Structure 1
Amino acid sequence: MKITYAPEVDILRIIWSNMPIEESDEEKPGVIFDYDQSGNLVGLEIIDASKRMDNPRNVEYSIDEKF
């Protein structure tokens, strides 16, 4: 998984797979899901990220051992 934030365009991108993007769908304004050829979700883009979250420059990651 790779998470990037581009402050010059205010876009946060989360990539789960390196598969080529076959299709993108803007589920809600400013939230774009990227899919591979098989329809699997491979990435997510959040446009105007600083307006949609507290601090897009700070990302926390945790693993829940219960599952």
Structure 2
Amino acid sequence: MKVQYDPDADVMRIIFQDVFVEETAEEIPGIVFDFDQDGIVVGIEILKASQRIDNPHSIEYTACLKSLKA
């Protein structure tokens, strides 16, 4: 996964898979979903990111792992 912020365009891109984007859809105003040829979401673009995110220059994330039972 890649997270990129373009301050000139004020767009944050979250890329789940680096593949060809077959289709895009703005399901929510200002939030654009990118889909691959199978209809799987491969990326999200957040338009006017500085108005939607506290600090788009700083990214913080948490990874949660499920415990596996044998």
> Which TM bucket (shorter chain)?
over 0.9
Give the distance between the partners of 1:66 and 1:40, measured in 2 at CA: 23
Q: Which residue of 1 aligns with 2:12?
A: 12
For structure 1, which runs of at least 5 residues remain unmatched after alignment?
A: none
The number of residue pairs the alignment matches comes to 67
Give the Cα separation in 1 of the matches to 2:29 and 2:4. 20
Aligned-partner residue type, residue 28 of structure 2: K
Q: Report the TM-score, using the length of structure 2 for normalisation.
A: 0.89
Query: 1:33 is matched with which residue?
Result: 33
* TM-score normalised to structure 1 length: 0.93
Which consecutive residues of structure 2, in runs of 5 or more, have no partner in the other structure?
Answer: none
Structure whose alpha-carbon radius of gyration is higher:
2
For 1:34 and 1:66, how far apart are their aligned partners in 2? 27
* Letter in structure 2 aligned against 1:6: D
For the residue of structure 2 that corresponds to 1:50, the secondary structure is: helix
**Partner AA of 1:54 in structure 2:** D
Identity, in percent, stands at 48
Q: Cα RMSD (Å) of the superposition?
A: 1.0
Q: Counterparts of 2:12 and 2:62 in 1: how far apart (Å)?
A: 18
